[in-house]
Structure 1
Amino acid sequence: MSQIDTLPPLRQVIADHELSARKSLGQNFLLDLNLTSKIARQAGDLSECDVLEIGPGPGGLTRGLLAEGARRVLAVEKDTRCLPALNEIAEAYPDRLMVINADALKLDPSDQLVPPIRVASNLPYNVGTELLIRWLTPPSWPPFWQSLTLMFQREVAERIVAKPGSKAYGRLAVLAAWRSDAKIAMHLPPDAFTPPPKVSSAVVHLDALPEPRYPAELKQLETVVARAFNQRRKMLRAALKGMAPDIEDRLIAAGIKPTDRAETVDLEQFCTLSRILNT
């Protein structure tokens, strides 16, 4: 099956609208509609959900989400060149696609979505990590979204799901594990994209937990984790020495050896330490 709807193939759409991908916008377009439908299926049953999509480009994943039964898709696209192609999709799927021309970093779209809400995006590489951190660190929890199904460079994807003791383990893994169940859902080679990026990509799926896995105050946990991993080669008694005059005693109270390094500390220990430092 090469087509999922009655609209033209994506190569034709890109040619008709002269949509060459722009490196400055972090664009790499997926042209295989079977592949975009497969990615959409990683988000689960969408029939009762609104779906937020960031950076739809010419609309490959948008069409996949709609063809897989999404109740409604809100697509946020910064590049005005893509709007005519997206409007054609909106006409083919009446009342199911809303397109907003905006910078996703400057927009809060949650008030235009009806719960339950899922996020599914082939994120522009230059904003993907920042958006993920924002979605994982809202002031209150649970968040507006039920799940995130997101495309990243493979290296970033591995950092999101990394476990303690691995080189990829860091701030992203701690935040993701604290408030979600995260897994890599599928891998994609460079030649799946136009233009092909220099690196492989992966789709990460995160299901929001009803409450954080361990109690901790967000800002304190973020500060502890950032300081620990910003100097990951240092022992924690040195990396965190400015946080408390008795930092060694507090590390020990949290079950952490002062000579440990950040990559060996698990999520529960980070949460315990952040609570102890907050007293």
Structure 2
Amino acid sequence: MKLPIGRVHDLLRRFGYEVIPFPADRLLRRSPDVLLDVGANEGQFAQAFRQRGFEGRIVSFEPVPAVFERLTRAAEDDARWEVRNQALGADAGRLPIHVANYDASSSLLPPAARMGEVADFLSFQETAEVAVCRLDDVFDDVCRPGERVAMKVDTQGYESAVLAGAEGALGRIDAVQLELSFLPLYEGEPPAEVVMGWMRERGFVPAYVAPAFVEKPSRQWLQADVLFVRDKTGSAETGLAETS
């Protein structure tokens, strides 16, 4: 007999286990035509989208030159994957990025004291000047009229600046996945509830939340991936770490 998936998850919970779907799966359910991959690093998220059957266009933004080289190699055989050596932010220009020894943690914001307490394996020993643009300024270059657009933003505390430069574009974006912090790990990073309120004011509500960084041994959530969808009262799917 084959048990329903919900029943299997209930049984696992009784033994202290939880099944949390990969956030990309929930974003992929929105059936986008194009994915804006902001803070692409080496292209891991885009590759996960491809592995799950996504055949649409991908536009990845990654500002750190050395990391961008690896991203370029990852995308070179994919004709529907465009890569841009830029950060997104509130204003266009050039800014110093704080480069971490674990490059996925590099940020346009300096690390806060809390970072050293929860991630002592990280060091930020150099900066590099990178190009920054506003999504509002390039949206028509990377998205075509009528396309269903999804956006993932993982910029290590700089998410609110990315959003500030994308207020016009948000009206044409169907779903947004953000990495948010409950205890800010970078200086000037707003806490998750502030960003959630900002998104709600612009017509987006949380539809899925999954842990991204959990402190050991307390198991306290420090960061989470939050999927936002347009608020359609009574129809938006909601839930904290839903497993069905």
- Which of the two has greater helix per residue? 1
1:107 paired residue among 125, 134, 141 = 134
SS state of the match for residue 125, structure 1?
coil
Q: Could you tell me which residue of structure 1 aligns to residue 171 of structure 2?
A: 143
Structure 2: gaps of 5 or more residues: 1-19, 90-132, 234-244
Give the aligned residue type for 1:45: R
Deviations, residues 138-193 of structure 1 (Å, cap 9, x unaligned): 3x8x7121010111223469954x5xxxxxxx5x343322311224520123589x
Give the aligned residue type for 1:78: P
| Corresponding position: 1:180 with 2:204 | yes
Task: Return closer, same or farther for 1:202/1:128 CA change in 2, 3 Å cut-off.
Answer: same
Deviations, residues 227-264 of structure 1 (Å, cap 9, x unaligned): xxxxxxxxxxxxxxxxxxxxxxxxxxxxxxxxxxxxxx
> Using the alignment, how far apart are the partners of 1:201 and 1:102 within structure 2?
24
| Comparing 55-64 and 148-157, the one that deviates more | 148-157
**Is the Cα–Cα contact under 8 Å of residues 74 and 98 in structure 1 kept in the other structure?**
yes
> Using the alignment, how far apart are the partners of 1:210 and 1:133 within structure 2?
23
**Is the Cα–Cα contact under 8 Å of residues 66 and 73 in structure 1 kept in the other structure?**
no
SS state of the match for residue 186, structure 1?
strand
Task: Return closer, same or farther for 1:183/1:154 CA change in 2, 3 Å cut-off.
Answer: farther
SS state of the match for residue 43, structure 1?
helix
Q: Could you tell me which residue of structure 2 aligns to residue 268 of structure 1?
A: none
**Is the Cα–Cα contact under 8 Å of residues 150 and 203 in structure 1 kept in the other structure?**
yes
Q: Could you tell me which residue of structure 2 aligns to residue 129 of structure 1?
A: 160
Structure whose CA Rg is larger = 1
Task: Return closer, same or farther for 1:155/1:205 CA change in 2, 3 Å cut-off.
Answer: farther
Q: Could you tell me how far 1:46 is from its partner in structure 2?
A: 5.9
Q: Could you tell me how far 1:200 is from its partner in structure 2?
A: 2.3
* 4+ long deviations beyond 6 Å: none
> Using the alignment, how far apart are the partners of 2:196 and 2:222 within structure 1?
19
Structure 1: gaps of 5 or more residues: 1-34, 163-169, 193-197, 212-279
Q: Could you tell me how far 1:49 is from its partner in structure 2?
A: 1.6
Deviations, residues 56-114 of structure 1 (Å, cap 9, x unaligned): 1122112112222331110011111112221222134x212100111212233311123
Task: Return closer, same or farther for 1:202/1:87 CA change in 2, 3 Å cut-off.
Answer: same
Q: Could you tell me which residue of structure 1 aligns to residue 151 of structure 2?
A: 119
**Is the Cα–Cα contact under 8 Å of residues 181 and 191 in structure 2 kept in the other structure?**
no
Give the aligned residue type for 2:160: T
> Using the alignment, how far apart are the partners of 1:210 and 1:132 within structure 2?
21
Task: Return closer, same or farther for 1:173/1:124 CA change in 2, 3 Å cut-off.
Answer: closer
Q: Provide the aligned length of Structure 1 versus Structure 2.
A: 157
TM-score, normalised to structure 2, is: 0.54
Q: Could you tell me which residue of structure 2 aligns to residue 152 of structure 1?
A: 180
| Corresponding position: 1:205 with 2:213 | no
**Is the Cα–Cα contact under 8 Å of residues 110 and 144 in structure 1 kept in the other structure?**
no
- Which of the two has greater strand per residue? 2
